[in-house]
């Protein structure tokens, strides 16, 4: 483990919910919950105002609604979240070539590898500047942890939440870790935590006192050795630069089980087309097609087929997914479907049309992936206006959907830079109301007001 706190862990604060609050002035300071809004939906992110009511990620949406009935419940806008994540990751890569993203809103950075920090003072300055830059570029806040190891940096960023910076000084690690619960350590989930608790081990100090031999006896060789080392604040894991994407996949969970085999087939074809679009956007192709089916009883089946070479052709992927579906019994209903492509490459093999059973290349153009669904499969009107998504009205301008149903859609018209806006209701087929792209959260150029980004509402601590 290094002698200076030059490993940084960034965790954006309530990322999805914070993006929604930043883009919607009427929701700032209010409880916001982002996730699937159907009967089987789960919470993706809850704002800090919603967490006061006990709402948290991975909670069933129905339970969240009972706990916070007056919160704003929104459908995720993943394209917007990805674009903002790319801005944040760009700031991290300006600090160091060694950036290890863990998700859209979380990453490790080796500051020493980029020459951005070499001791406690320079690390603190780098962390403070990063937070100010993130605020200036995105309008959002992130919490930063600085330490001599990845484990401790992540613990520090958790202690810094929300909107803070915590640096763990080398030499203080054991004293900091000792009283913390064992669940604080990486790799200690609910099952391991329960196992340790039954053995009378509740804190990291008690984990260290148990000794390596006892932990190996309780947890097995690999897990026991690793946890004992972490209990002594030993973590030699390096920051690993972003790994190549190993697969591209899409999936949908349905509010009501699908029993019609024809409808299941239609959904699989639609998912295959979406998957191919993602492949092409990433400039990739793949040779292994994967089908995922979760049935009515929660049993999950996966089937895969490997082609002779990589492809990004929708006809090939659709036909392969259909063949895989033929081997799956969907009697009783389907609650989730997914299509994925793995074995990725950055080139395609043109003659793979031959693998799409009986479909000549000239008879099925690439553009078919973008074709509109057949009328009988048209999405219900309410599903075309997801809560929280952007709209534009010919008279009232930019806004977002507050809700829809019974042939009506209600929108609030405001922008990230405006005051809270007015609410209007329209017919779902009103030609003056159209879906729109999100607006930038920050209209000023990066760097114009960086001083404000470093100002009030922040805090810095040392450990």
The residue with tokens 């007001």 is 449
User: Which one, of 163, 229, 115, 158, lies nearest residue 463 by Cα?
Assistant: 158
Q: Can you say whether residue 220 is alpha, beta or left, with left for phi > 0 and alpha for psi between -120 and 50 degrees?
A: left
How far lies 214's CA from each of 189, 198, 200, 211, 225, in Å? 19, 14, 12, 6, 10
End-to-end CA distance of the chain: 17
Residue 105 known to bind ligand: yes
User: Which one, of 121, 89, 92, 94, lies nearest residue 104 by Cα?
Assistant: 89
**CA–CA dist 54, 59 (Å, integer):** 10
60 strand-pairing partners: 42
The residue with tokens 């809270």 is 420
> Cβ distance 361 to 348 under 8 Å?
no
Q: Which of 106, 112, 267, 414 is catalytic?
A: 106
Q: Is 106 noted as a catalytic residue in this protein? A: yes
Residue 326 known to bind ligand: no
Contacts of 448 (CB under 8 A, 6+ apart): 136
What the block records as the tokens of 50 is 């919603």
Please give the positions annotated as active site.
Answer: 106
Binding site listing for Mg(2+): 11, 105
Binding site listing: 11, 105
């Amino acid at each position: 483990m290094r002698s200076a706190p030059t490993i940084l862990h960034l965790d954006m604060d309530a990322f999805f919910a914070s993006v929604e609050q930043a883009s919607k002035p009427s929701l700032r300071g209010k409880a916001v919950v982002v996730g699937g809004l159907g009967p089987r939906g789960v919470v993706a992110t809850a704002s800090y105002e919603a967490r006061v009511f006990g709402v948290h990620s991975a909670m069933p949406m129905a339970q969240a609604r009972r706990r916070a009935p007056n919160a704003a419940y929104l459908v995720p806008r993943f394209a917007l979240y990805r674009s903002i994540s790319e801005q944040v990751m760009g700031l991290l890569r300006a600090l160091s070539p060694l950036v290890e993203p863990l998700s859209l809103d979380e990453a490790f950075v080796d500051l020493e590898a980029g020459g951005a920090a070499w001791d406690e003072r320079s690390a603190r300055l780098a962390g403070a500047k990063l937070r100010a830059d993130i605020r200036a570029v995105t309008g959002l806040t992130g919490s930063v942890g600085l330490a001599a190891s990845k484990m401790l940096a992540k613990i520090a960023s958790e202690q810094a939440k929300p909107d803070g910076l915590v640096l763990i000084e080398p030499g203080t690690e054991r004293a900091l870790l000792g009283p913390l619960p064992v669940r604080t350590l990486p790799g200690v989930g609910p099952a391991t935590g329960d196992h340790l608790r039954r053995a009378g081990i509740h804190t990291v100090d008690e984990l260290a006192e148990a000794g390596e031999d006892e932990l190996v006896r309780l947890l097995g060789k690999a897990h026991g050795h690793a946890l004992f080392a972490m209990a002594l604040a030993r973590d030699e894991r390096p920051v690993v630069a972003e790994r190549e994407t190993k697969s591209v996949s899409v999936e949908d969970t349905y509010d009501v089980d699908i029993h019609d085999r024809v409808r299941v087939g239609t959904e699989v074809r639609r998912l295959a087309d979406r998957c191919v679009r993602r492949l092409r956007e990433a400039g990739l192709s793949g040779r292994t097609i994967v089908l995922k089916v979760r049935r009515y009883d929660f049993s999950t089946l996966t089937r895969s087929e490997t082609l002779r070479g990589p492809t990004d052709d929708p006809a090939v992927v659709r036909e392969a997914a259909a063949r895989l579906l033929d081997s799956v019994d969907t009697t009783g209903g389907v609650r989730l479907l997914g299509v994925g492509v793995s074995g990725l490459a950055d080139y395609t093999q043109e003659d793979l049309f031959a693998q799409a059973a009986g479909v000549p290349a000239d008879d099925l153009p690439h553009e078919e992936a973008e074709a509109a669904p057949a009328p009988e499969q048209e999405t219900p009107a309410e599903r075309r206006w997801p809560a929280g998504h952007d709209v534009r009205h010919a008279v009232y301008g930019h806004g977002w959907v507050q809700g829809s149903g019974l042939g009506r859609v209600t929108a609030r018209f405001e922008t990230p830079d405006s005051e809270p806006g007015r609410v209007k209701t329209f017919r779902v087929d009103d030609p003056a109301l159209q879906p729109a792209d999100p607006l930038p959260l920050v209209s000023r150029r990066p760097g114009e007001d960086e001083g404000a980004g470093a100002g009030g509402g922040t805090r810095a601590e040392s450990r």
